Amino acid sequence: MAYIDFMMKAHQSTKRDYVGRVTEDDKAECSTIAIQYGMDYWDGDRKYGYGGYRYDGRQRAIAEAMVQHYGLKAGDRILDVGCGKGYLLYEFTQVVPGIQVTGIDISEYAIENSKEEIRDYLQVGNAVWLPFEDDAFDFVVSITTLHNLFNYELSNALAEIERVGKSSKKHVAIESYRNENEKANLLYWQLTCRTFYTPKEWEWFMQESGYNGDYSYIVFE
């Protein structure tokens, strides 16, 4: 298991008003709406989530970096756990023509409003139980999803990712914090996060769960 950063540059390009998130609206009410993962979360007001999650190509660089690092090629099967609207998977198909993609997400709205070109390869489901055979995929990725699970669900989810991937070519990215400032910002900003761990704690959880892939994290500086 290794720390490999594919995410922080894109994450840091967005400016956030952390204090405003908790003073301008009833954050508990906003979170209650956000965790339904419906239209409000994806395409509603920013206080409920993304504030309009539309394709803009920003995930192309992430796909390119992962393809290069993991040596992905045409014919390989990729699974995205928590795929949302499938934008990252779409980029994989553009970077490597002939690659096979599968996505799973808890949000029916996200799947119904996903990138049309790959919609047929996406399905509704839960990260805690993946409806796929052992060793079914050459690469498994999960971006900013696992922290939305309760801690008693994490071991199952990590073990499932390990089970369905046929090699160590796996990557999970989570939200984390390295100091009290980042911890406060994470608590202010997050709407759906259920687990709040430092990188060391995440590493421990992954090792205890038998996860042998790579990981990265984003922090709210």
Please state the pTM of the whole predicted model.
Answer: 0.95
Task: List the CATH number of the domain containing 110.
Answer: 3.40.50.150
2 belongs to a structural domain = no
How far apart (Å, rounded) are the C-alpha atoms in residues 112 and 119?
Answer: 8
- Sole residue written with tokens 């509704």: 124
For residue range 157-216, list pLDDT tens digits in order: 999 999 999 999 999 999 999 999 999 999 999 999 999 999 999 999 999 999 999 999
pLDDT band at 78 (very low <50, low <70, confident <90, very high): very high
pLDDT band at 43 (very low <50, low <70, confident <90, very high): very high
Contact yes or no for 131/125 (Cβ under 8 A): yes
1 belongs to a structural domain = no
Q: How far is CA 91 from CA 27, 59, 86, 113, in A?
A: 33, 7, 9, 16
Mean pLDDT of 29-58: 96
How far apart (Å, rounded) are the C-alpha atoms in residues 46 and 30?
Answer: 10
Structural domain harbouring 187:
8-218
- Helical H segments across 113-192, by residue range: 151-164, 180-189
Question: For the chain, how many structural domains are there in total?
Answer: 1
3 belongs to a structural domain = no
Judged against a pLDDT cut of 90, whether residue 125 lies above it is answered with yes
